[in-house]
Structure 1
Amino acid sequence: MNDLQFMPHQEEVLNLTDDKNRCAYYLDMGLGKTFVGAEKMYLLNNTVNLIVCQKSKIDDWVDHMKTYYPEYRVMDLTKKSEGMNFRTLVETKDLYDQNIQIVGVINYDLVFRRKYIAHITDFTLLLDESSLICNENAKRSKFILKLQPESVILLSGTPTAGKYERLWSQLKLLGWDINKKAFYASYVQTEWIENGDGYKKEVITGYKHVEHLKKRLTQFGAVFMKTEEVIELPEQTEQKIFLKITNEYKFFIKHNYLELDTRNLVRFKDDSDFEGEDVTPRVELIGDNSLTKTLYCRQLCGQWHKEKLEAFRDLLESTEDRLIVFYNFNEELTRLRKICESLNREVSFVNGSGRSMYAYECVDNSVTFVQYQAGAMGGNYQKANKIVYFTLPLGKGSCDLWEQSKKRIHRIGQNRPCFYYYLLVKGSFEERNLAALQEGKELTDELFNT
């Protein structure tokens, strides 16, 4: 192993797959999948390595590899110049002559658009959140399944979410040569039912031979590990997810003025996706006083911050657990709900217009949106153990709202560790706001004058 110090459970999973060049680390969120996957890549010792991850994780992976594995030449393939350099090194074989080991990092939505990647051979392929290829008919899945890696590393906290049919495409990468029809026949129970239109459709009703399936998965290098099996985490754990500050935010801070086109902030078709909803496609922002300047800066770090919206999508794709999401403005809710709808996640809400809690009560992977003023001070949401703070409260009473919001899941009846995820725009007022809340202080509308 490298000089890194690993926790016992991380050493265990690496030892379990020591003799395998294709493996899957299905570890719960918080157990260090990134460290385990990167170390396995290092141990495999291939000249060419490719990491495919969610867009919001690009910088994290680049920084991790550069920090802990300086012997690698690490390239962000979303950047044109670095992608060209990576391609040149691979195609000319210069890296073999110069004894260079390279790592390319790219996101799922871009990988199939880089056709040169299809021609790379004898490399290590690492998929972070490998469950994102569970739909074998998606472009990214088709492309990845046709690649010719020598070694494969799959990372996911929710590879199946209890739905074993989602494993088939990942099993192909692990080297289990079983076609989908045979896999279903062996392990998936289905039934043909009436759909109400006079036709029948086949639906999955359960699974069979599950123990045999698990043994086969172990043979092909899959390791499953739950948090409660290996480590006693603190009752409350906070994680900050940093996003880049936008040029629009910088411009507005400097000039107190901005013309902003808010369309295409997330992966929707066009403005028609928001017809009849409280979303403004084009806005003119004039910060002629501290109140309006504060308001627009908050919105530039929330509903109008494309990377934060994408990071929220990535977070949803990373877990099938119930989530509680705290937010401030109606347009935030509209855009976030659209993301949930695109991922088939059912939604509950608590806000000034009312409350709807069916999805929270009855759907295991539901997302419940809570507006601070309407729901931070009351409500029992301990069916969930994870809160996402899309934006934070600000101004008078914000400390109480924030402290009370954390208690919505951390209360009598909760028997699991609680996790809090903060989506923060680095270099913006949001960092100061969170620091102030943690110190029991409150930032006001005057914060931009300091």
Structure 2
Amino acid sequence: MGLGKTFVGSEKLWELNTPFNLVICQKSKIQDWIDHFNEYYSDDYQVIRYSKQPIQTIPEDSILVVNYETAWRRPELLKLRNFTLMLDESSKIKNERSNQSKFILKLKPDNVILLSGTPTGGKYEELWSQLHLLGWNIKKKVFLNQYTIQEWDEIMGHFKIVGYQHTDRLIKKLHQHGAVFMKSNEVFDLPKQNEIYIKCKTTTDYKTFARDHYAIKNDKEIVGDTAATAKLYLRQFAGVWNKHKLDQVEDLISSTNDRLIIFYNFKAEYEELLKICQKLNKPVSTMNGSLKDMDNYENKSNSVSLIQYQAGAMGLNLQKANKIIYFTLTDKSELFEQSKKRIHRIGQDKPCFYYYLLTDGSVEWRMLEVLKMRKDYTDKLFEKENNL
């Protein structure tokens, strides 16, 4: 991540020189790709934003740019021939059963370019659909048998993956099918990354719910009757329902006039963070499922950007800032790793600081430990650790 995949991918696409080209990316990255091709390849290609209306005739020497959610709803793309396909953040097709993955796997490109900072999210089984697209015609069952270690799960009634094997052979096969692996520190002298852990006092409500999986909050009964709901509510008691954490994030925001990026999970968190920023007269930018407005980030040096993990952990270039505050943690390793690279990438010339707000004695500490092992903090893992 942060190695300039846009430049590498576009140069490779230009070098392959097919009459037609199709770039599939996240919705938030469409304009970035269009601007990039128009700036550096305007003499070579006509760049077309392919979204609402089908195109009757596609001109040669063109690049179609479309987002994943729209692409699979355009069946006419299945007729496209003599083209190079480029997927930005190709881990988006790791679930081969999703509509967008099944559609992309049916395309008939001459060449395939896959770009990803986290192609597996720590799970090698998630490579299969990407490798299939690159031309490795190995059956999914054979792939799993060769490269994963599985055990029978008596409770769920199926095999589960508990580890990996023959990784050297897998890496060799990846290289044979065009995979190039690069790490930031092997390619660029990026600034140092610094992690700061800020303990937030716990609350009586958190302790009560952790013990009983039951509490009253704002005159409402909170019941954690399953692993999923118990984990969800513990995260909220440690996060947005913890006044000590809200005080800590207010202190952090008020302590600097530098640009700040704050990652959060839930709508209620956004609402509380927005109130704090408004109280402190901070210009706010927002990236979430319903609002995308990064103007203040671009134009105000003292802005605070409130970024929901699902909407902005992947794809954004935020290297104008060098400080990220994690108000709460995601439970997804891929989003966690991607979020850190929003500021630690080409163009960053300052040391990067990551502030983790962690409620004392809460589930957040274990979540961070698991995420640093590049694993998801799953409901099953939570259930095991809490003996639910």
Q: What SS does the aligned partner of 1:223 have?
A: coil
Pair 1:137–1:215, CA change in 2 (3 A): same
Deviation at 1:139, TM superposition (A): 0.8
Pair 1:142–1:279, CA change in 2 (3 A): closer
Deviation at 1:155, TM superposition (A): 0.5
In structure 2, the residue matched to 1:224 is: 181
Pair 1:135–1:367, CA change in 2 (3 A): closer
- What is the rounded CA distance, in whole Å, between the counterparts of 2:289 and 2:16 in structure 1? 42
- What is the rounded CA distance, in whole Å, between the counterparts of 1:145 and 1:129 in structure 2? 15
In structure 1, the residue matched to 2:131 is: 171
1:206 aligns with 2:163: yes
- What is the rounded CA distance, in whole Å, between the counterparts of 1:226 and 1:315 in structure 2? 22
Amino acid aligned to 2:179: A
In structure 1, the residue matched to 2:26 is: 54
Q: What SS does the aligned partner of 1:159 have?
A: coil
In structure 2, the residue matched to 1:88 is: 56
Pair 1:175–1:367, CA change in 2 (3 A): closer
In structure 2, the residue matched to 1:154 is: 114
- What is the rounded CA distance, in whole Å, between the counterparts of 1:279 and 1:220 in structure 2? 42
In structure 1, the residue matched to 2:223 is: none
Pair 1:342–1:118, CA change in 2 (3 A): farther
Amino acid aligned to 1:61: W
- The alignment's TM-score, normalised by the length of structure 1, stands at 0.51
- What is the rounded CA distance, in whole Å, between the counterparts of 2:101 and 2:289 in structure 1? 30
- The alignment's TM-score, normalised by the length of structure 2, stands at 0.58
Identity of aligned residues (%): 40
Pair 1:217–1:344, CA change in 2 (3 A): closer
Amino acid aligned to 2:190: L
What is the root-mean-square deviation in Å for CA atoms of aligned residues?
4.0
Q: What SS does the aligned partner of 1:203 have?
A: strand
1:113 aligns with 2:63: no
In structure 2, the residue matched to 1:233 is: 190
Q: Deviations over 1:376-430 (max 9, x none)?
A: xxxxxxxxxxxxxxxxxxxxxxxxxxxxxxxxxxxxxxxxxxxxxxxxxxxxxxx
| Corresponding residue pairs, total | 266
Please show how residues 350-365 of structure 1 align to structure 2 within 5 Å. 350=358, 356-364=364-372, 365=374
Q: What SS does the aligned partner of 1:224 have?
A: coil
Pair 1:104–1:127, CA change in 2 (3 A): same
Pair 1:39–1:293, CA change in 2 (3 A): same
Q: What SS does the aligned partner of 1:89 have?
A: coil
Amino acid aligned to 1:306: L
Q: What SS does the aligned partner of 2:181 have?
A: strand
Q: Is the 8 A contact 2:288 2:307 kept in 1?
A: no
Q: What SS does the aligned partner of 2:85 have?
A: strand
Q: 2:291 aligns with which of 306, 310, 313?
A: 306
Q: What SS does the aligned partner of 1:126 have?
A: strand
Deviation at 1:367, TM superposition (A): 10
Q: Is the 8 A contact 1:345 1:367 kept in 2?
A: no
- What is the rounded CA distance, in whole Å, between the counterparts of 1:318 and 1:165 in structure 2? 23
1:129 aligns with 2:84: no
- What is the rounded CA distance, in whole Å, between the counterparts of 1:210 and 1:148 in structure 2? 30
In structure 1, the residue matched to 2:313 is: 316
Deviation at 1:305, TM superposition (A): 5.9
Amino acid aligned to 2:56: T
Q: Is the 8 A contact 1:349 1:355 kept in 2?
A: no
Q: Is the 8 A contact 1:349 1:357 kept in 2?
A: no
Deviation at 1:89, TM superposition (A): 2.2
Q: Is the 8 A contact 1:189 1:205 kept in 2?
A: yes
Deviation at 1:116, TM superposition (A): 1.5
RCO higher in structure (CA 8 A, sep ≥6): 2
Q: 1:42 aligns with which of 14, 39, 62?
A: 14
Q: What SS does the aligned partner of 1:182 have?
A: helix
Q: Is the 8 A contact 2:21 2:84 kept in 1?
A: yes
Please show how residues 24-39 of structure 1 align to structure 2 within 5 Å. 29-39=1-11
In structure 2, the residue matched to 1:187 is: 147
Pair 1:122–1:341, CA change in 2 (3 A): same
Please show how residues 322-341 of structure 1 align to structure 2 within 5 Å. 326=325, 340=330
- What is the rounded CA distance, in whole Å, between the counterparts of 1:187 and 1:226 in structure 2? 23
Q: Is the 8 A contact 1:360 1:367 kept in 2?
A: no
In structure 2, the residue matched to 1:75 is: 48
Q: What SS does the aligned partner of 2:292 have?
A: helix
- What is the rounded CA distance, in whole Å, between the counterparts of 1:311 and 1:103 in structure 2? 30
In structure 2, the residue matched to 1:102 is: 62
Unpaired runs of at least 5, structure 1: 1-28, 238-272, 284-290, 328-332, 369-450
- What is the rounded CA distance, in whole Å, between the counterparts of 1:145 and 1:215 in structure 2? 23
Q: Deviations over 1:331-367 (max 9, x none)?
A: xx7xx87xx4699979x85479x99422123332589
Q: Is the 8 A contact 1:49 1:103 kept in 2?
A: yes
Q: Deviations over 1:154-173 (max 9, x none)?
A: 00111123321111101111
- What is the rounded CA distance, in whole Å, between the counterparts of 1:117 and 1:293 in structure 2? 50
- What is the rounded CA distance, in whole Å, between the counterparts of 2:66 and 2:45 in structure 1? 16
Deviation at 1:121, TM superposition (A): 1.8
Pair 1:230–1:302, CA change in 2 (3 A): closer
- What is the rounded CA distance, in whole Å, between the counterparts of 1:302 and 1:316 in structure 2? 10
Unpaired runs of at least 5, structure 2: 195-231, 241-265, 272-277, 294-305, 317-322, 337-355, 378-388
